[in-house]
Amino acid sequence: MSQDLFDDHGLLDKDKRRDCVQLVIALILTPEGFPLAYEVLAGNVTDNRTLRLFLRQIERQYGQAERIWLMDRGIPTEATLDQMRASTPPVRYLVGTPKGRLSQLEAALLAQPWQQVRAGIDVKLLAQAGELYVLARSASRVAKERAIRRKQLKRLWQRLRQLQGMALTRDKLLLKLGAARQRWPAAWRLVQVDPQPDGTLVVAVNRAKLRQVRRREGRYLLRTNLTNRDPAGLWELYMRLVQVEEAFKTLKGDLALRPVHHQIPPRIEAHIFVAFLAYALHATLRRQLRDLAPGLTSRAALDTLRAIQMVDVHLPTTDGREVVLSRYTEPEPDVSLLLRQLRLKLPAQPTPRLHTETALVH
Tens digits of residue pLDDT in 8-36: 433 333 445 555 666 777 788 887 778 88
Interatomic CA distance for residues 276 and 248, integer angstroms: 8
pLDDT at 101: 82
Does the pTM surpass 0.85? The reply is: no
Kindly report the CA angle at 120 between 118 and 123, in degrees rounded to 5? 65
Region 102-130 average pLDDT:
86
Whether residue 210 is predicted with pLDDT greater than 90 in this model: the reply is yes
Interatomic CA distance for residues 122 and 119, integer angstroms: 8
pLDDT digits (tens, 9 = 90+) for 74-103: 777 788 788 788 877 778 888 888 777 888
Q: 261-279 burial string, b = 16+ CB within 10 Å, else e?
A: eeeeeeebeebbebbbebb
Mean pLDDT, all residues of the chain? 80
Neighbours of 78 (CB within 10 A): 8
Whether residue 181 is predicted with pLDDT greater than 90 in this model: the reply is yes
| Most confidently predicted of 166-175, 176-185, 231-240, 264-273 | 176-185
Burial class (CB in 10 A: 0-12, 13-18, 19+), 101: middle
Neighbours of 177 (CB within 10 A): 19
All structural domains of the chain: 3-96+117-131+226-298 (3.30.420), 97-116+132-225 (no CATH), 310-355 (no CATH)
Whether residue 45 is predicted with pLDDT greater than 70 in this model: the reply is no
Sequence length of the chain is: 362
pLDDT at 256: 54
Establish whether the linkage from the previous residue to 265 is cis, with ω within 30° of 0: no
pLDDT at 188: 94
25: phi then psi, degrees, rounded to nearest 5:
-120, 130
Whether residue 65 is predicted with pLDDT greater than 90 in this model: the reply is no
